[in-house]
Amino acid sequence: MDLKFIEALKLKNKLFFLFVLITLALVFVGVVGASYINAMKKNMDSLYFGSLVPVTELNEIIHSYRNGISDSIHKATRKEISPLQASQSIEKSLKYIDKTWKSYSQHFKSEDELAYVEYVDLEIQNTNKSFQTILHYLQNGGEASKISLNTVEDKIYKLQGIIRKLINYEIEVAQFERKKFLNKYQDIALNIGLTLIFVIVAVFVISTYVFKSIQQDHTKLHTIAKKLKIANKKLENTSYTDSLTNLYNRRYFNHIYERELKRAKRDKTYITFMMIDIDYFKQYNDTYGHIEGDFALKTVSKVLKDTLRRPSDYIFRLGGEEFGVLLSQTNESDSASLARKLIDAVKSRGLKHEKSKVSEFVTISVGVVSCIADDALEDEVLISRADEMLYKAKEGGRNRYQITTNVTYAKTINM
* 171, 288: one domain: no
The answer to whether residue 235 sits within a structural domain is no
Q: What are phi and psi of 313, to 5 degrees?
A: -90, 120
Q: Give the domain extent around 56.
A: 1-205
Q: What are phi and psi of 249, to 5 degrees?
A: -95, 180
pLDDT tens, position by position, for the chain (415 residues)?
455 545 545 555 666 666 677 777 767 766 766 666 666 655 555 554 555 667 888 888 888 888 888 888 888 888 888 888 888 888 898 899 899 888 888 876 677 677 788 888 888 888 888 888 888 888 888 887 888 888 888 888 888 888 888 888 877 777 776 777 777 777 777 776 777 677 667 766 766 655 556 556 556 666 776 777 776 666 666 678 998 999 999 999 999 999 999 999 999 999 999 999 999 999 999 999 999 999 999 999 999 999 999 988 999 999 999 999 999 999 999 999 999 999 999 999 999 999 999 999 999 999 999 999 988 888 889 999 999 999 999 999 999 999 999 887 444 444 4
String of DSSP letters for 297-313: HHHHHHHHHHH--STT-
Report the CATH number at residue 26: 1.20.120.1730
* 174, 298: one domain: no
* 265, 193: one domain: no
pTM of the shown model: 0.46
From 186, 205, 224, the end of a domain falls on 205
From 205, 239, 269, the end of a domain falls on 205
* 299, 410: one domain: yes
SS3 call for 360: coil
The answer to whether residue 242 sits within a structural domain is no
Contact 256, 314 (CB under 8 A): yes
* 272, 189: one domain: no
* 277, 345: one domain: yes
* 193, 89: one domain: yes
* 270, 392: one domain: yes
* 192, 296: one domain: no
Sheet holding 364-372, edge to edge: 314-319, 322-328, 270-278, 364-372, 401-404, 413-414
